[in-house]
């Protein structure tokens, strides 16, 4: 089943065309990467897929249903984490998760909150206020919140940017397991090429709002006669 199907998406901000005629699909259980230089249009693309901003042209289908017409239904099966989204600073970690669990109208909210706390080793931080957390700890709360509703599609905008190498490695392992075992589809942006090589089945390169290359890390390295994805990135970004 096709989880994400974006067709000919266009988004303009005044004179800037942030995304131009973008086509993208993500399959069930697929971990897809969206790469590209700063300002390429990655976050704009994710925000359109999440219904946070409206495309100027094109269409978006999630789980085979048009987002604009089945918004509540499809978005209830999606979740999102990004380091630039702030959760309420005065709330304690557990309060944040409880609030989102209720917002999502989960059937067994307390049970699910306990599960994600366990998954992200947040137990010792449960009573801490959000504003008293380090950026890496905040990232783990963001990811825990994003998994509360057991989404079929997880959209992650630079999820591991604030994590130390050990925490990053553990989170990558956890997310990869989630995709493999639960069939969760993911669309991830990252500037960490090793992370993308390790996690993503398929990579879409954006440059100037357009997809300029797509394939697995191996395919892309072959096509661009590059040692690794980092070299592919430099070749693509520098045209």
Ligand X SMILES: Nc1ncnc2c1ncn2[C@@H]1O[C@H](COP(=O)(O)OP(=O)(O)OP(=O)(O)O)[C@@H](O)[C@H]1O
Q: Footprint of ligand X on this chain (CB under 6 A)?
A: 13, 16, 18, 36, 38-44
- Closest contact distance (angstroms) between CB of 212 and ligand X is 13
Alpha-carbon distance 130 to 91, whole Å?
6
Which one of ligand X, Mg ion, none interacts with residue 159, CB within 5 to 8 A by kind? none
Task: Determine if 83 is a binding residue for Mg ion (CB under 5 A).
Answer: no
Residue 38 binding result from ligand X, Mg ion, none, given CB thresholds of 5 to 8 Å by partner type: ligand X
The CA-based diameter of the chain, rounded to the nearest angstrom, is: 51
Looking at beta carbons only, is 196 or 221 nearer to Mg ion? Answer: 196
Rounded to a whole number of angstroms, the minimum distance from the CB of residue 3 to ligand X is 21
Contact call for residue 45 and Mg ion (CB under 5 A) = no
CB of 36 to ligand X, least distance (A): 5
Rounded Cα distance between 46 and 44, Å, is: 5
Nearer to Mg ion, 63 or 80 (CB): 80
Nearest in space to 211 (alpha carbons), one of 8, 16, 1: 8
Only one of the segments 14-22, 36-44, 47-55, 204-212 lies at the binding site for Mg ion (rule: CB under 5 A); that segment is 36-44
Show the tokens assigned to 19. Answer: 């995304």
Pure H helices in 104-226: 109-119, 135-147, 165-182, 193-199, 217-223
- The CB density around residue 140, as the number of other CB atoms within 10 Å, is 25
**Residue 43 makes contact with Mg ion by CB under 5 A:** yes
Nearest by Cα to 54 from 4, 88, 19: 19
Tell me how far, at minimum, the Cβ of 191 lies from ligand X, in Å.
7
Name which of 43 and 160 has its Cβ closer to Mg ion. Answer: 43
Nearer to ligand X, 36 or 151 (CB): 36
Residues with Cβ within 8 Å of residue 65, at least 6 apart in sequence: 73, 74
Chain residues binding Mg ion by CB under 5 A are 42-43
């Amino acid at each position: 089943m096709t989880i994400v199907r974006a067709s000919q998406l266009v988004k303009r901000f005044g004179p800037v065309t942030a995304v131009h005629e973008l086509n993208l699909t993500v399959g069930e259980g697929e971990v897809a990467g969206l790469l590209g230089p700063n300002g390429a249009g990655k976050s704009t693309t994710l925000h359109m897929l999440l219904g946070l901003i409206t495309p100027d042209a094109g269409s978006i289908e999630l789980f085979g249903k048009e987002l604009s017409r089945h918004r509540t239904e499809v978005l209830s099966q999606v979740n999102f984490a990004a380091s630039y989204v702030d959760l309420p600073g005065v709330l304690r970690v557990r309060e944040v998760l409880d609030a989102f669990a209720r917002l999502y109208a989960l059937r067994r909210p307390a049970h699910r909150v306990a599960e994600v706390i366990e998954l992200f080793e947040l137990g010792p931080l449960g009573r801490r206020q959000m504003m008293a957390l380090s950026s890496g700890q905040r990232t783990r709360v963001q990811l825990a919140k994003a998994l509360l509703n057991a989404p079929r599609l997880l959209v992650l905008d630079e999820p591991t940017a604030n994590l130390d190498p050990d925490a990053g490695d553990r989170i990558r392992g956890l997310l990869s397991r989630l995709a493999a075992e639960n069939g969760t589809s993911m669309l991830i942006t990252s500037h960490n090429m090793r992370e993308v090589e390790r996690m993503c089945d398929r990579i879409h390169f954006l440059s100037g709002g357009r997809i300029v290359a797509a394939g697995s890390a191996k395919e892309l390295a072959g096509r661009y006669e590059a040692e690794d994805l980092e070299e592919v990135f430099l070749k693509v970004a520098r045209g």
